[in-house]
Amino acid sequence: FFFFCFPETHGISFRIQISVKELPDTDVLLKLLFHLPVNYPSTLPDISVNSDQLTRAQCVVVKEKLLEQAKKHLSEPMVHDLILWVQQHLKDVIKPSATACNEKTTLSEGAEDGIWMLLLHLDHMRAKAKYVKTVEKWASNLRLTGRLMFMGKIILILLQGDRSSIKEYVILQKTSKVDVDSSGKKCKEKMIRVLCEKEVQSQHKRFQTFEVKEYSALEELQKEFETAGLTTLFSEFVPPLLK
């Protein structure tokens, strides 16, 4: 690998580029940016991960795993150890993420073409403002349209977009620390259900934007679905959530 650094007012940043052999015939070029704060190594470095061979979601997973490893080396120089670790474990890190949630929540195999639709149910949002902002950011980055819908205690996310982007969204939702637990500590979303995923049909209307909306009554929520040509989707999946 090679690296270069450039000074900053508050510490030093290193750009490191490494080639990692994922499979016998495949090399992954990882671009890592480490920002070492002034009181490093007593403080963890900031890390960003980019690669043309990996999806955004996989880069997020690699970053999270590197930060987990960094915590084990707190108070001792760690950059070299982190680079060695990612070279040895990249395959293990990105393989599970590509098949995250291989149960009901996984998008079924099939054609990748066309526009797909995904309906998610969230159990709760403790850090609502931050959570909503994160969902909006992901939808924007992945060019997904749809709605984040609140009605009483019901929280639904309805997304439309390229199937690969839908898949990336599910991985991000399951692997990122999007909420806080009862003690206020950041945590991953463990109580999410994929209610439905399927290709958008001609009778379904496309959402032009991604919006966050609150509904005071079930009838208002139902009208949102009906306007989008999704009456059947509503009647099949939403009423059971009220029981």
Q: Is the pTM of this model over 0.85?
A: no
Which sequence spans correspond to the domains of the chain?
A: 13-94, 115-241
**pLDDT at site 92:** 83
The domain 115-241 having CATH identifier 2.30.30.240: the answer here is: no
**pLDDT at site 193:** 87
The domain 13-94 having CATH identifier 3.10.110.10: the answer here is: yes
Residue 161's region, left for phi above 0, alpha for psi from -120 to 50, else beta, is: left
Q: How far apart (Å, rounded) are the C-alpha atoms in residues 56 and 52? A: 9
Q: What is the mean pLDDT of each run of 10 residues along the chain (243 residues)?
A: 53 84 75 87 88 85 92 90 91 60 36 74 86 91 93 93 87 80 76 86 83 94 92 91 83
Share of the chain above pLDDT 70, in %: 86
* Strand 210-215 relative to strand 145-151, pairing: parallel
**pLDDT at site 24:** 59
